[in-house]
Amino acid sequence: MGREYPEHPLVGVGAVAVHNDKVLLVKRGHPPGVGLWSIPGGLVELGEKIEDAVKREFQEETGLICEVRDLIQVSQVIIRDDHGRIKWHYIILDYLVRVCGSEVPHFGSDASEARWINLKTAIKMELTPPTKKLIHKLLNMRKKKI
């Protein structure tokens, strides 16, 4: 089954790295959302544990190693074509991660850019809808100091 026009929703993961009020974002290199900024992530492979998928996708897209912490957000992306058929359908599990070792990102195969961006700046960027929701959540968490 391909990603476009799937028979059922596909499960994706995101790795949310935050340090000194900056979040690590990647510029998407492939559809959907090509050219938009998002949390590093991708699809869970058959037989792969969710935490392993988070680590693998984070490393593939940023070149960095991470430790998986807590689930912070569950979101869905449903995009229809001009005829109303479902072209993309993802369930995305975003996890807070801690970067281990170097914090200098090197974008990978699915991203055209990767960088640390201040949360207040990030919210003004061209983001995927789930990433925009997540950045709002992170800003609110910072205000409440949770």
For the chain, domain boundaries: 10-144
Asked if residue 146 has pLDDT above 50, the reply is no
* Catalytic choice (45, 67, 113, 126): 113
Helices (H), the chain: 50-62, 119-122, 129-144
pLDDT tens, 7-49?
999 999 999 999 999 999 999 888 888 899 999 999 999 999 9
Q: Report the CATH fold assignment for 10-144.
A: Nucleoside Triphosphate Pyrophosphohydrolase (3.90.79)
Alpha-carbon dihedral of residues 39, 52, 43, 132, nearest 10 degrees?
-20
The residue with greater pLDDT, 113 or 84, is 84
Q: What gap in Å lies between CA 45 and CA 40, rounded to an integer?
A: 16
Whole-prediction pTM: 0.90
Q: Reply yes or no on whether 113 is catalytic.
A: yes
Q: How confident is the model at residue 145 (pLDDT cuts 50, 70, 90)?
A: low
Q: Is 137 helix (H, G, I), strand (E, B) or coil?
A: helix
Q: For 124-140, how does the pLDDT look when each residue is reduced to its tens digit (9 = 90+)?
A: 999 999 999 999 999 98
